[in-house]
Structure 1
Amino acid sequence: MGPVRKVRPGLTAEGAGLAGDRVVAAGSIARILVGATARALRGTDCADLGHAGPVSRFAGTPEPVRRAMTARAVGRVALTAGQAAAVDADRVARWFTDQYPPRRYPGVLVGSPHGAAAHLAVALGMPWLPAGFEMIAHWPQGAVDRPRAALDHGAGLAGRLLAANPDLHLRQVHCPASRGALAGATVVLTARWRRLPAAYRRFLAERLAPGASVLVLRDGRTWPVLDAADGHSFQLGCPGSGLNPVDFHPDSHALRQVLRSAGGNGAHWEPPEISAPPAYAEHGVETGFELDVRDFACRYAHRVRRLLFPAPEVLSAAVADLYRHWLRVAGKTGDRLVVECGRLLDPWQVLRAGLVPYWCENATRRSVEQAEWWLAGSDPFSSVDVLPESPGVRSPALAGLPQWLAVAGFGRRRRALDRTSARGYPVTSVPTRRATEVLRAQPCDLPAPPPLEMADALALLRETGSRDGLLVG
């Protein structure tokens, strides 16, 4: 028998299994958004959200050394095969709901992760809950350029997870363009609930006011997907990489660049054949989950609405326009903008300073270009602060610092690109709390406007977002 690994306090709940904070990947967007939204509803900022990503510690080291050290750092927190079998998705759901202050709410937002969803939830005075969560598991003897081997290893992990959690669908994503060398040391499994988990049912039954609203947010992006087994699907690349599905073909020049940067070899790239029509990408919402939300909410006379966005920038622009209108109706200028990126956001500080938030999903050229287009078509802002999140990898799809500077250049009087975030870009990460540190320097503009009513918010979103494909139903 091998050595028994001691379990640190706090990693188990009620004496069995793994607690949610151990299961959900550190730094995953759903985890950050729940933490940020819950803090804002408590009236606090994100100063204690310190996850910076493993690459932040290894600035200035040679690339091969940095890759190896990063893989080892992630390996220390990744789930083992045995721990994967101990995952309890219901406990994860309870961990999410327990982060919110214990009071009655006028409604709740559930569904796909999106930074603007957190800002929308705070403006409405409502929690946001994800329809899934991300896990990272060990891949011993893995290789960034071996997607077939990644699929085989992921299938074994998925079997263990699904045996204990039959209400999950597991989407495995192998994407060297967004994860770099880590795609060869660990596998990513995005778990999506196929039914409403018990903790969410309790939340809808006990924590919502009579006649509350339930808003389901759905990311409408699609991607080629291989149905590997019942409850397990495989995705090569992802929309957030800034690349297209064709860029993950063995003959792709962009793929060769990505693999070379991650320590792989394009000659080894032999992906599994994916012939099925594209399906919703990893941040989509399972149809059974939404149907269950509707059925359960109707029992308590809660009204269910849906917000479907075809691309992240569509919701980002609509919520930014909503915030500007909301602030101006309350007698504020609505002329100061913060462009957030990835995990660099703080809804409470945005509210405290009376800022308009625009959220970029990541630092890809595509994402930053959309922010530029929105700014070009908007009334000018007196100040623009930009928080570029360093992705920790090199990719031909990434925006350069000059492009980020161009975004800041839309400010009439103040044009600020956070120097700390930009230092070491794109390979050196900064903690999530860096957004808090920057936004704390903004002048206070309290009191905040009174919370928006759901009907008014949806009307504004429909007015500003429908031309770009935002569907409000």
Structure 2
Amino acid sequence: MRRAPTTGGGLPGDRVVAPGSVARVLVAATSRALRGDDCGDLGPPVGLSRLVGAPESVRRAAALRAAGRTALTAGQVARIDAERVAGWFADQYPDRRWPGVVLGSPHGAAAHLAVALGVPWLPAGFEVAARWSGGAVDRPDAAYEHGVDLAERLLAANPGVRVRQVHCPASRGGAAGSTVTLAVRWDALPGAYARLLADRLAPAAPVLLLHDARTWPVRDLGAGHSFQVGSPASGLDPVDFHPDARVLDQVLRAAGGDGVRWTPPELTVAAAFAEHGVESGFEHDARAWGDRHHHPLHRVVVRQPDALSAVTADLYRAWLRRAGKTGNRLVVECGRLLDPAQVLRAGLVPYWCENATRPRVAGVEWWLAGSERFSSVDVLPESPGLRSPAVAGLPQWLAVAGFGGRRRALDRGAARGYPVASVPTRRATEVLRNQPCDLPAPPPLRMADALAALRDAGAHQGLLVC
């Protein structure tokens, strides 16, 4: 039986949270897996596959129109109720007693870990896309000015959040010139989360808090709104967004901009946690709640997303083998192309790439080079929908598949039109449904075993568990 949906003022959560944002997809995939469903009903935010052969200018214009249709107006931003959004996330999970919960930064491996543990995964923030009429992809200074007004409206109605604005043509392409991206992070444990923990956690059930510790230069004047140019998810470094950087010219040309006008606002903090970090108030509140109610909180600090992906894949392999399975069939998922339910059904080992950038694909290559060989490797590359000097080419993805012993498969559907054509999340489901069934699934993983594996791997993978 499902709980009644959380009600209240403000826009519905499914209207507020940006379509296709990672946190939204991961909650949908995790909640479905815990109900025994796959992601066959999850489509793309907007599909542009039919425009693969169209000229660059036509595809860019179509992408901008699509982004604008789903983005919020300034008036709608003022009506956001962050508590209602938290309730929308929490209400997606079945109404049952849980042996724990995973909170924090969005990461596909965390979703797979939560499914193996048989527990919900809930994000510490969410992404909002707001309209920017008359915007320009090569004007980060103007984006900042527009974002200040939007953030003031949002913060006036939600004093318990912090807003990080991200202007990144390298990861969002031309859409960075028509919409403003706001990463909204709770500065305290939302009431809807606290209710789920109080009502649905088993006695003494642990809480696992994942914190993405990557840093980025920001402009932060202390009013609850901060601004960053670029993002770790771009596959580039902060220096690549400097006006004199050669890479920046390539990025802006691909997005329809011009480096001559690029004038970022002055930065005030050299190294703050990037957009997917967890606010200290959220962590403090979650720990205090756990202490009061006798639910231990364990914090996992991740300096690079590859580390958690590698440790989770190793953990799955050992978990499958303890259940008498081979643990020798790997699926490399990417971005929104994942399906934890189908991974369990087929007895696969999942490795999640944050995106299709060269550093992230190199991460899985290094892990595979140092791992016991897999008999089969299936690769699902998510097309970023844009061209960037940081995007991995198909030969690099083929090299990943080449680590397979008997089977080496790069999904043709995902590769068709790469890197400019988008494919829906359900594409991963369609591919994985063709894998042989390996049921029953192993008994749920114990949190103590997961924590032991995370701690053991921490010294050489770059994880801190405390």
Q: Normalized against structure 1, the TM-score is what?
A: 0.96
CA distance in 1, matches of 2:401, 2:184: 36
1:70 aligned partner, one-letter code: A
- Residues 122-160 of structure 1 show CA distances to partners (whole Å, capped at 9, x for unaligned) of 110100000000000000000000000000000000000
Q: Secondary structure at the match of 1:215?
A: strand
CA distance in 2, matches of 1:464, 1:325: 13
> For residues 254-265 of structure 1, what are the structure 2 equivalents within 5 Å?
254-265=247-258
| Contact 1:353/1:443 (8 A) holds in 2 | yes
Conserved? CA contact 2:169–2:230, under 8 Å: yes
Select the residue among 243, 259, 268 that pairs with 2:236.
Answer: 243
Q: Does 1:276 align with 2:269?
A: yes
For these two proteins, the number of residue pairs brought into alignment is 462
Match for residue 144 of structure 1?
Answer: 137
1:90 corresponds to which residue? 83
Q: Quick check: 2:346–2:438 contact (8 Å CA) kept in 1?
A: yes
Alpha-carbon spacing, 1:421–1:52, altered in 2? closer, same or farther (3 Å) = farther
**Does the Cα contact within 8 Å between 1:39 and 1:348 map onto a contact in 2?**
yes
Report the equivalent of 2:211.
218
Correspondence for 1:331:
324
Task: Describe the SS at the equivalent of 1:438.
Answer: helix
In 2, Cα distance between equivalents of 1:101 and 1:114: 21
Deviation readout 1:80-134 (Å, 9 max, x if unpaired):
0000000000000000000000001001000000000000001101000000000
1:6 aligned residue: none
Aligned residue runs from structure 1 range 391-470, under 5 A = 391-470=384-463
Whether 2:74 is the aligned partner of 1:81: answer yes
1:22 and 2:15 equivalent? yes
Amino acid at match of 2:64: A
Matched, 1:311 2:304: yes
* CA distance in 2 between partners of 1:124 and 1:295 (Å): 23
Q: CA deviation at 1:229?
A: 4.6
The structural deviation recorded for 1:298 is 1.8
**Structure 1 residue 57: deviation in Å?**
4.4
**Cα RMSD (Å) of the superposition?**
1.2
Does 1:107 pair with 2:116?
no
Pair 1:15–1:374, CA change in 2 (3 A): closer
Shift of 1:303: 1.0
CA distance in 1, matches of 2:446, 2:274: 31
> Is 1:52–1:432's contact at 8 Å kept on the other side of the alignment?
no
Distance of 2:117 and 2:7 partners within structure 1: 34
1:347-379 residue CA offsets vs partner (Å, 9 max, x unmatched): 000000000000000000100001000000000
Is this contact kept in 1: 2:220–2:268, CA < 8 A?
no
Residue 290 of structure 1 aligns to a residue in which SS?
Answer: helix
2:201 aligns with one of 203, 208, 228: 208
Aligned to 1:116: 109
| Residue correspondence of structure 1 range 52-67 to structure 2 within 5 A | 52-67=45-60
Residue 210 of structure 1: how far off its partner (Å): 0.7
Q: Distance in 1 between matches of 2:48 and 2:363?
A: 27
Deviates more, 1:272-281 or 1:143-152: 272-281
Counterpart code for 1:67? R
Paired position in structure 1 for 2:64: 71
Indicate whether 1:372 and 2:372 are aligned.
no
- For the residues of structure 2 that align with 1:320 and 1:14, how far apart are their CA atoms? 38
Distance 1:229 1:158 in 2: 12
- Residue matched to 2:31: 38
Measured in 1, the distance between the counterparts of 2:437 and 2:61 equals 44
Name whichever of 451-460 and 167-176 sits farther off: 451-460
Corresponding residue SS for 1:345: coil
Shift of 1:277: 2.5
- The alignment-based identity, stated in percent, is 70
**Structure 2, gaps ≥5 residues long:** none
How far apart are residue 466 of structure 1 and its match?
2.5
- Give yes or no for contact 2:105–2:211 (8 Å, CA) kept in 1: yes
Quote how far apart the aligned CAs of 1:53 are. 3.6
Separation (CA, whole Å) in 2 of partners of 1:60 and 1:22: 31
C-alpha distance in 1 between matches for 2:175 and 2:273: 24
TM (norm. structure 2) is: 0.98
| 2:345–2:439 contact (8 Å) kept in structure 1 | yes
Separation in 2, partners of 1:181, 1:236: 15
Contact kept? 1:54, 1:74, Cα under 8 Å? no
Cα distance in structure 1, aligned partners of 2:310 and 2:292: 34
Does the aligned pair in 1 maintain the 2:6–2:87 contact within 8 Å? Answer: no
- Amino acid across the alignment from 1:20: G
Code of the aligned partner of 1:251: D
Structure 1 residue 51 displacement after superposition: 1.6
Match of 1:253 among 223, 246, 255: 246
Shift of 1:193: 0.2
Residue equivalent to 1:343: 336
Q: Deviations over 1:13-58 (max 9, x none)?
A: 8574210000000000000000000000001100011125453343
Report if the CA contact (8 A) 1:29-1:343 is conserved.
yes
Contact persistence 1:102–1:207 (CA under 8 A) = yes
**1-side partners of 2:100 and 2:127: how far apart?**
25
CA distance in 2, matches of 1:260, 1:13: 45
Partner SS, residue 227 of structure 2:
strand
CA–CA separation in structure 2 for the residues paired with 1:60 and 1:374: 35
Report the Cα distance in structure 2 between the residues aligned to 1:119 and 1:14, rounded to whole angstroms.
Answer: 29
Instruction: Quote the residue 1:9 is aligned against.
Output: none
Name whichever of 431-440 and 292-301 sits farther off.
Answer: 292-301
Name the structure 2 match of 1:188.
181
Q: Structure 2: how far apart are the matches of 1:279 and 1:216? A: 19
Matched residue type, 1:447: P
The aligned amino acid for 1:121 is A
- Mean alpha-carbon deviation: is it higher for 461-470 or for 245-254? 461-470
CA distance in 1, matches of 2:8, 2:334: 38
Letter in 1 for 2:369: A
Q: What's the CA shift for 1:401?
A: 0.1
- Shift of the 225–418 alpha-carbon distance from structure 1 to 2, 3 Å rule, reads same
